Structure formats: structure tokens, C-alpha cells
Structure 1
Amino acid sequence: MILFKHFNFDSAHFLPNVPDGHKCRTLHGHTYRLTLYFEGELDRDLGWVIDFSDIKSVVSPIIALVDHRLLNDIEGLENPTCEHVAMWLWGKIKVNIPQLCKIKLYETPTSGVVYEGA
């Protein structure tokens, strides 16, 4: 069984490694939409794979680290492409919720990345 939970956060960033003149080299912001997927066996007694409130209690403090922040200032996100943000989130969440099996991170409503771990 795979379940999912959505989170949103707003952050600013700039991409220091793109060529001069690229629009993403300058400071700008996004409203990110994060979907987390968790896989596991259905607990017959409880009726779920993992409690949604347990997910929220682990993930909300991690989201607070990036919400309304300049991502470039966060350790490990000095080059905060959508790909690097997804990998950073994975590292923070997977250690606390091992059932995490996939992250979908939208940088815009039409663009994003899917990450399934390394």
C-alpha cells in the first residue's frame, strides 16, 4: 500500500551556477508543492500504513526550516535547484520516516521533480 500527503511552502532562491543573464540567477521565489509517498504493509489492527498525524509531526518542523526563507542560506542548499531541494528534503524526512518511498516536488504548477532516493 502506498499513501501520500501534501505540503506547501514558499521560499526564495537564486541559482549561482547558471550563466550570466539567465533569469534564475537573480533572486526570485516559488510556492512549492511537496507530495510525499510512503509504502508499507497495512496494519490490520490500526487500518493504516502510517498515521497521517505522525507524518505531519515529523515533516512540519522540516518545512518550517525552508518556509519563507532564502534557500541559498540553508546548509546543504547553496545551489538550490528543485532537484537539490528534493534530495535535501529526502535526507531530512527519510531518517525519521523510513517508509518514505518517493518525493514529488513542484517548483511551479507545471514543473517539478520526482525523487525516489539514492
Structure 2
Amino acid sequence: MRVTLEKDFGFEAAQQLPSFPEGHKCRRLHGHSFQVRVAVTGEVDPASGILYDHARISRAIEPLLAQLDHRLLNEIPGLENPTIESMARWFWERLEPLLPGLSRITICETPQVRCHYDGPSRS
């Protein structure tokens, strides 16, 4: 049986988006209560009845969240222009080696705005 397991995490952080035009509100310093959803896809182990122990996902992401929580994202290497698109890629690059079957990273900066990243193009 093939399934996708998702687990949600949150962190608080400030950001400025220097690539936005002068006068744009997102170019100014502001903060969000970010939500990160990590999805892994694969076959359920018939013996255990699960794909992953949820704690495995938590162990992989917790050090990353510690780097970001209550920080200015622009100061984090790789997030100098911390759009949700670049944040999704940043998480992917760090989690993919730790979580076989990683299939999607979703970053929500508000309840209405999110970015899904399914990994680098395989073409």
C-alpha cells in the first residue's frame, strides 16, 4: 500500500524581501508565523503497518527550525532573500538526505498563502 504521510511544524521569524520593489510592504522588515508541512511518500511496511515513525520526521526538522525560530531569516545562509519559494527549497535540500521518500515541502506564511515544492525537476 502506497501512502503519503504529512507532518506540520511552525516557527516565528522576521524577514525582508530585498528583491521586491521600493515601497512594497514586503520589502520592509516584517514577521510571520510560518507553517511547514513535510510530506513523505512510500510503501507501508506490512510488518509495522506504517511508512515512517512520525518522530523520525521531527528529529530531521527540529535542528532546522531551531536555526530559524525567532530569527531574521535574511541572516540565515541560503535565505538572504527569504521568499516562501526559496524557503521551501532550503528545507528540501536539508531534509532530502535524511528522509527517504521526501515528496513535498509546503511553506505557509499566512493562512491564505502557501508554496508547495516537490523537489528539483527530474527532466
With structure 2 as the length reference, what TM-score do the two structures score?
A: 0.93
Q: Which residue of 2 aligns with 1:36?
A: 38
Structure 2, gaps ≥5 residues long = none
Please point out which of 87, 90, 93 is paired with 2:92. Answer: 90
Q: Which amino acid aligns with 1:47?
A: G
Alignment of 1:18-29 (within 5 A): 18-29=20-31
Tell me which of 81, 84, 88 is aligned to 2:83.
Answer: 81
Q: CA deviation at 1:47?
A: 1.1
What percent identity do the matched residue pairs reach? Answer: 42
Count residues in correspondence.
118
Counterpart amino acid of 1:115? Y
Unpaired runs of 5+ in structure 1?
none
Aligned-partner Cα distance in 2 for 1:47–1:69? 39
One-letter amino acid of the counterpart of residue 67, structure 1 = D
Q: 1:7 aligns with which of 9, 12, 31?
A: 9
1:5-38: CA deviation from partner (whole Å, max 9, x where unpaired): 0001111000111111000111100001111111
The 1-side partners of 2:97 and 2:67 are apart by: 16
Mapped to 2, the partners of 1:62 and 1:71 lie a distance apart of 12
Q: Distance in 2 between matches of 1:39 and 1:55?
A: 12
- The CA deviation string for residues 67-86 of structure 1, in whole angstroms up to 9 with x for no partner, is 11110000010010010011
Q: Within 5 Å, give how 1:42-57 maps onto structure 2.
A: 42-57=44-59
Q: Which residue of 1 aligns with 2:114?
A: 112
Provide the rounded CA distance (Å) in 2 between the counterparts of 1:19 and 1:81: 14
